[in-house]
C-alpha cells in the first residue's frame, strides 16, 4: 500500500474519479477513504483541515499530506502507467493550480450531482 486518498464520498465526480483510479491501480497501491467516515475525518484533521471539510482531496503518502492539486498530481505520479507525465504540472505555482482546483470543487455538485451515501470502492 503506497498511499491513502481521502475524497468526498457524496460527490458523483469524486466517486467517478475513484472508480477510474481503482481500475488503473492494478498493484493496489492506493486506498480510498471517504471524508465522511471516521477515518477520513481523522486524516483531514491530521492534515490540518477541518474534519468536516469535503471539498479537498487529501493524499497521504510517504508520511506526507498532499492537498488539492498537489494531491491529484502526486496520485497520478504514483499510479504510473503513463499518467505520471502529468506530474510536470507541479512546476506551476500552487496558488495558480489550486485556483482551478477550487473552481471545479466549488461547482462539482451543481454540475455532476450528489449522492445520498458514500459509494464503496
Question: Is this prediction's pTM over 0.75?
Answer: yes
E strands, 22-116, are 30-34, 58-61, 64-67
What is the rounded average pLDDT of the residues 6-18? 91
Cβ(98)–Cβ(69) under 8 Å? Answer: yes
Note the pLDDT tens digit of each residue in 62-120. Answer: 999 999 999 999 999 999 888 999 999 999 999 999 999 899 888 887 777 776 655 55
Cβ(75)–Cβ(17) under 8 Å? Answer: no
Cβ(48)–Cβ(65) under 8 Å? Answer: yes
Q: Select 3-112's CATH number: 3.40.30, 3.40.50, 3.10.110, 2.60.40.
A: 3.40.30
pLDDT value at residue 17: 92
Domain ranges in the chain are: 3-112
Cβ(73)–Cβ(88) under 8 Å? Answer: no
* Residue 37: partners with Cβ closer than 8 Å, 6 or more residues away: 9, 118
Cβ(106)–Cβ(55) under 8 Å? Answer: yes
Amino acid at each position: 500500500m503506497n498511499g491513502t486518498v481521502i475524497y468526498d464520498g457524496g460527490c458523483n465526480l469524486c466517486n467517478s474519479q475513484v472508480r477510474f483510479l481503482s481500475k488503473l491501480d492494478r498493484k493496489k497501491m492506493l486506498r480510498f477513504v471517504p471524508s465522511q467516515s471516521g477515518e477520513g475525518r481523522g486524516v483531514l484533521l491530521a492534515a490540518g483541515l477541518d474534519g468536516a471539510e469535503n471539498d479537498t482531496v487529501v493524499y497521504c503518502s510517504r508520511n506526507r499530506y498532499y492537498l488539492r492539486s498537489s494531491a491529484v498530481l502526486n496520485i497520478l505520479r504514483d499510479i504510473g502507467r503513463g499518467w505520471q507525465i502529468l506530474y510536470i504540472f507541479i512546476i506551476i505555482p500552487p496558488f495558480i493550480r489550486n485556483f482551478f482546483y477550487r473552481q471545479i470543487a466549488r461547482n462539482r455538485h451543481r454540475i455532476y450531482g450528489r449522492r445520498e451515501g458514500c459509494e464503496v470502492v
